[in-house]
A and B are shown apart, each in its own frame.
Chain A
Amino acid sequence: MTGALETFFHEVNESLIMAIASIRTNKLRSILTLLGIAVGVFSIIGVMTAMGVLISSIENGMTFLGANTFQVQRTPAMMTGDPKEMVKVMNRRNITYEQALRIKESASLAKAVGIFCYLNSQKVVVAEDGKKTNPSVNVSGRDIESFLANNWIIDEGRLFSQGELNSGSHVAILGADVVKKLYPKSDPVGQTIRVDKHKYQVIGIVKSKGSVLGGDNESFVLIPLSTFFSIYGKDQGFSFKVQADAMAIDDCMEQVRGILRTARHVPPAAEDDFSIISNDSLITQFNEFTKYLKLGIIIVSSIALLAAGVGIMNIMLVSVTERTREIGIRKAIGARKINIMTQFVMEAVLLSEFGGMFGIILGIFGGNAIALLLDAQPIIPYDWVLIGFLTCSLVGIVFGVYPAWKAANLEPIESLRYE
């Protein structure tokens, strides 16, 4: 038994050596062939790595949501392309200030409830010296608890005073990206900025948390809620962000949901007419959102791998013809059919696996480019690496078997005479 095993091992080893030698002899041809496999595997691994980075970046709490916070707003964070769903969401009523205040008063499990109101459009912010930002700044009205709920720390300057909040003063606190753009060298506190012809005095800066998901999150101007009302009106629709203890976050979410349903008169059997966004719900939504993308990539890659497999088969058939004489020699000195079979299948599998490894490496680098953009932790999707590797081995076997079978069944005399 061990003898047979040993013999098998030698044969596989020999096939391996011969296969490598043959691939090396036909370098260009081999590279072109394995490129097909590499492209197929690259697209799978690349996309899966990118997805993995996004998900882990959400999981790591590097999102605009802290680990123990959730946000309540009219519309969900992400929407699938389903038009019925979109119409339903668009027809939802705004969350009113009164409803938001009711949450603040009644949500006993919440540590902090920050109410805020923002514009649907983004603005240009102009400094005194005429410097402008891109029209990508979010202007929002905030109450004091918003800073707690968002984990915002004032880096320089100060928070809104109670007086400013009550009176609707034209004061503003800036996000790090706005500061970077308008005041690269000078101190912004005390300066005046202009948004939509309205002037604000800068009183503070929010400490940067590092950019997340695209990097534009710290491009914001915060003004007191009352100021926002007086300029943009009270009918913009409110969102609020709730911070709770890690232990109680699920209970708190239920509590808030109950209060808001009552306040908005949602019938008992009907679904919520508002969206609660938490890290978990973001991940779930993200997965839902990317499900079809993943499926699409898998289908496209499968087609690419199929085409690459046909390429491998083609090149193997050429190789068998070219090496007819070699096959004859091997047979004359005692190679059995299974030996020849093993050798050629091995060659196809190796070719395919080289391509696969190439694709895996490229895919990991390509997919992690997004991690670099997001400043997130790079990842290696081990499960997909394994799946990719096994798939291309399978492609090698499936498309290598016929040429190998053809080689194994050549007549020794005929092949020895082959010129």
Chain B
Amino acid sequence: MNNSYVINLQQIKKIYDMGGAEEVQALRGVSVQIGKNEYVAIMGPSGSGKSTLMNIIGCLDTPTSGLYEFNSINVSEMNDNQLAKVRNKEIGFVFQTFNLLARSNALHNVELPLIYAGVSSAERKRLAHEALEHVGLGDRVHHKPNELSGGQRQRVAVARALVNRPSILLADEPTGNLDSKTGDEIMVLFEELHTQGNTIILVTHEEYIAEHAHRIIRLRDGMIEADEIVKNRKSITTE
């Protein structure tokens, strides 16, 4: 049973050494399992450790102690290059601030993960086009980020996150920089992606956004406060 988890965190602790005797315990032993095709929201006020947890799940950071298995592979002891490979192939990031390369057009932004994965140029173009069409930007491929609206930028980011067919989609406040209507559009997109079989982990501090997920993990002071299934899911439509 354990083997079917995409993410398996056991007693994860993260301690930041602030210099001198001072240290901050961002995570004080978090254990969480997330299965395939789950739609999970991680919630908590600022300082609760949700960002730290996201960074660890996203292999951007390593825990001070504890076990982290990604698809049953121990990633807590991986070196930088191995982590880079996991980030490249297994995790699709969507950030609050989009984090697109400003000088590159949409197509090249989406191609980027494929470049680091060593995909050939023609194949890269094809896959990137496909991913952009998938998020409804088939006609915007040659636009640069500053020529796109906020919602369109986030769609490019989603296309980039999905282009390598990762095991999870990791979104950090994906609607935080969008107005509510555009935010809703992104949430609709997430809903669709989930229906298509993607595993989505959403980090947010907005209850309204979190309620789109199927499961909410609430953090407080570096510990899990609650881990609940959402009963009355907000069904969301484009209208």
Contact = CB atoms under 8 A, between A and B. Distances in A.
A134 interface: no
Contacts of A21: 103-104
A333 B112 contact: yes
Contacts of A6: 118, 120
A14 B80 contact: no
A337 B79 CA distance: 11
Contacts of A326: 101
Nearest to A4: B118
Given A25-B103, A329-B101, A416-B95, A334 B117 contact: yes
A262 interface: no
Q: Is the interface of A mostly helix, strand, loop or mixed?
A: helix
A350 B117 CA distance: 25
Interface string A320-345: 00000110111111111111000000
Contact of A332 (B87, B89, B118, B164): B87
Contacts of A333: 87-88, 93, 112-113, 116, 160
B148 interface: no
Interface in A219-259: none
B149 interface: no
Given A10-B121, A412-B60, A413-B61, A336 B99 contact: no
A7 interface: yes
A3 interface: yes
Interface in A391-416: 412-413, 416
A6 B122 CA distance: 13
B84 interface: yes
Nearest to A3: B118
A11 B87 CA distance: 17
Contacts of A25: 103
Contacts of A22: 103
Given A21-B103, A25-B103, A332-B87, A413 B60 contact: yes
B103 A334 contact: no
Contacts of B116: 11, 330, 333-336, 339
Given A11-B115, A25-B103, A416-B99, A331 B120 contact: no
A329 B84 CA distance: 12
Interface in B1-42: none
Contacts of B160: 333
A419 B197 CA distance: 35
A337 B89 contact: no
A29 B89 CA distance: 37
B97 to A, nearest CB: 9
A143 B47 CA distance: 107
26 contacts: A3-B118, A6-B118, A11-B115, A11-B116, A11-B118, A14-B115, A22-B103, A325-B99, A326-B101, A329-B101, A332-B58, A332-B60, A332-B87, A332-B93, A333-B88, A333-B113, A334-B84, A334-B87, A334-B88, A334-B116, A334-B164, A335-B84, A335-B116, A336-B80, A336-B116, A337-B84
Given A6-B120, A333-B113, 20 more contacts: A10-B119, A11-B116, A328-B99, A329-B100, A329-B101, A330-B116, A332-B93, A332-B99, A333-B87, A333-B88, A333-B116, A333-B160, A334-B85, A334-B116, A334-B117, A334-B164, A337-B84, A412-B60, A413-B60, A416-B99
